[in-house]
Structure formats: C-alpha cells, structure tokens
C-alpha cells in the first residue's frame, strides 16, 4: 500500500527549531522550571541551531567534537566561563532528552566536560559599611520605609533579586520571623527575617504600603506608588540610588547584599550546610565559594596584625 503524503512528512527529520520548541514546552509543563530558566536554555539552543545552520549540519550529524567546537566558538566570542558552564548543562539535558526519545542513536553531549570555574571571588561589603548604608535611609522621607525594608530584607535573608520581587504578604510570618520563598526551579524554602528587617518591614506595611494599594494591586510585599509590584530593574535602581546617597563608591547591585549575607554568616561561625540551605543552593559546591572569601579575610587580618605576618 502506498504511503500517504502526511505519513511521508511525519517520517522526515523534525527541524531543529521544532525540537527546541518541544523541549522548552517539556521544561515548562513536565519539569515546571521557571520562565527565566526556560529563556536561558532557549538562548543556548538557539545559538547552537544558528551554528548548525551556518555549517549545514543536521542533528544526526552532531557529535561530541561538534558540540565542543560550538562551545569553543562561544568562548572565542567572549562568553564568560560561568555562562559556558551553564551552556554545557543546557546541551546535556537537551541531548539526553533527544536520545531518550530515540531521535538520535547516542547522546553526544554526555562526554562533555564543563569549563573549570573561575576563581573570581564575589564582592562583599563589610558589616560596618552595610550598617552605615542602612542607617543612612531616613524613614521620615517619602519611600524611605519601603526602600529600607527592601535593603534590610536582602541583607537579613540573602534573597535573590527575583525572590524578593516575588515575595507576597501571605508568605510572611511576622510573629515567627520567617518568609516563604519561591526560588530557582520553583522550589520553596523558609528564610529567616532578622529583627531589624522585621521592624523595617512592619513599619513599611503599616505606614506606606496601604497608601499605594489600588483595586488592581496584588498581594506582592513590595509595591510601587502606582500599586503594582516592583520590577527587578526598579529594585536595582533603588539599591544603586540608596548606595549613592550613602556615599558608597564601589559598584553596588542587589546580589552584593546576598554575597555579604553569606560571607558574614561564615565569618561569624555559621555551618556551611546551614548557609547552603538559607541561600537555596542545590549543590554545596556553589556555597563553597564563600569559604575562599572568608579565607582571604583571615589572611588579610593575619598579615595586618601579626608581628611576623
């Protein structure tokens, strides 16, 4: 019996773009991964697709050498080591999925080795610098209570920017001093809200937020004066503005407070596993970067104060 046109078309190799779209749907629906992660994966796979098209390669012609060549080109284009490590992960999960579906004979990404991480240490501020920064914010001026509550919460709880943006009133327990957080991969965790942060937040909730609530307002913890949730870009602007007003000359960004939070806990004697849990790191290797920061501080102190340092 002759095959129909639709049967013949169904047997043709699926275009790379369709595979990418199907995989992103899989990440969204089956894995429940965040929009930000889906976008990151899509960017990597789209770059690979463009690279393949330029060389007229099909997915069946892609082997480990070809994937290594793609990653090497990204390195030559100036892609940072951390981004290339992430791109390698994206390739591994994509080709593992393709291989499991039987679309290719073997997984060409399985042997790939991730680029060795840079030993660049995260920037931090001292406890004194952060104290002066927070105390410089006048709660008697417009937006002072909100902006101070934002900075206090960043430093008290070590939140990521996206986590702070997503924080909602119903996730905050003011009696026990905890906030439920929706982190990477939509994983939830409880973070501690310190007493100073709790005071700043309750003051903001009582004196500023109610004035901005509109019929369309959501239950997001931090609102704009128009009643909408604050965007990541707006919070970056707030952090930079408040740092400038406090006379902090170094480059300041929201993640700096997260780095400082973790470093100060470690220097204070906190267990690395506890810090891992508070930060929401899936792998303790990610948290171990802070041991290098702390060790550097010990060396500097020893060199400065020991007579033969």
Which residues have a catalytic role annotated? 160, 184, 255, 258, 281, 290
69-76: Cβ within 8 A, 24+ apart:
71/112, 71/115, 74/47, 75/115
Q: Which of 224, 206, 204 is nearest to 214 (CA)?
A: 224
Look up residue 282 and give its DSSP letter. S
Residue with tokens 């340092």: 309
Instruction: Look at residue 59 and give its three-state secondary structure.
Output: helix
CA distance between the termini of the chain: 88
**What is the rounded distance in angstroms from the CA atom of residue 126 to the CA atom of residue 139?**
23
Q: Which of 299, 273, 297 is nearest to 285 (CA)?
A: 273
Sequence-separated (6 or more) residues with CB below 8 Å from residue 156: 192, 193, 194, 196, 197, 261
């Amino acid at each position: 019996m002759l095959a129909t046109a639709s049967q013949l078309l169904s047997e043709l190799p699926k275009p790379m773009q369709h595979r990418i779209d199907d995989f992103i749907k899989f990440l969204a629906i089956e894995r429940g991964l965040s929009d930000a992660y889906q976008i990151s994966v899509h960017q990597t796979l789209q770059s690979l697709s463009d690279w393949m098209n330029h060389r007229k390669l099909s997915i069946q012609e892609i082997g480990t050498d070809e994937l290594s060549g793609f990653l090497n080109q990204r390195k030559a284009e100036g892609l940072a080591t951390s981004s290339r490590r992430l791109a390698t992960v994206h390739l591994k999960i994509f080709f593992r999925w393709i291989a499991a579906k039987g679309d290719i004979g073997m997984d060409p990404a399985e042997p790939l080795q991730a680029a060795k991480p840079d030993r660049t240490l995260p920037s931090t501020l001292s406890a004194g610098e952060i104290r002066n920064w927070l105390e410089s914010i006048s709660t008697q001026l417009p937006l002072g209570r909100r902006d101070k509550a934002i900075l206090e919460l960043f430093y008290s709880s070590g939140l990521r920017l996206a986590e702070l943006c997503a924080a909602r009133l119903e996730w905050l327990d003011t009696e026990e001093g905890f906030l439920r957080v929706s982190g990477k991969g939509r994983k939830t965790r409880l973070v501690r809200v310190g007493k100073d942060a709790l005071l700043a937040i309750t003051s903001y909730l009582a004196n500023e937020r109610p004035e901005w609530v509109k019929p369309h307002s959501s239950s997001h913890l931090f609102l704009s004066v128009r009643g909408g949730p604050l965007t990541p870009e707006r919070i970056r602007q707030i952090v930079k503005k408040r740092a400038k007003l406090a006379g902090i000359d170094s480059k300041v960004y929201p993640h700096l407070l997260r780095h400082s939070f973790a470093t100060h806990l470690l220097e204070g004697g906190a267990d690395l596993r506890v810090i891992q849990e508070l930060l929401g790191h899936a792998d303790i290797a990610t948290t171990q970067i802070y041991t290098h920061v702390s060790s550097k501080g010990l060396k500097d102190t020893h060199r400065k104060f020991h007579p033969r340092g």
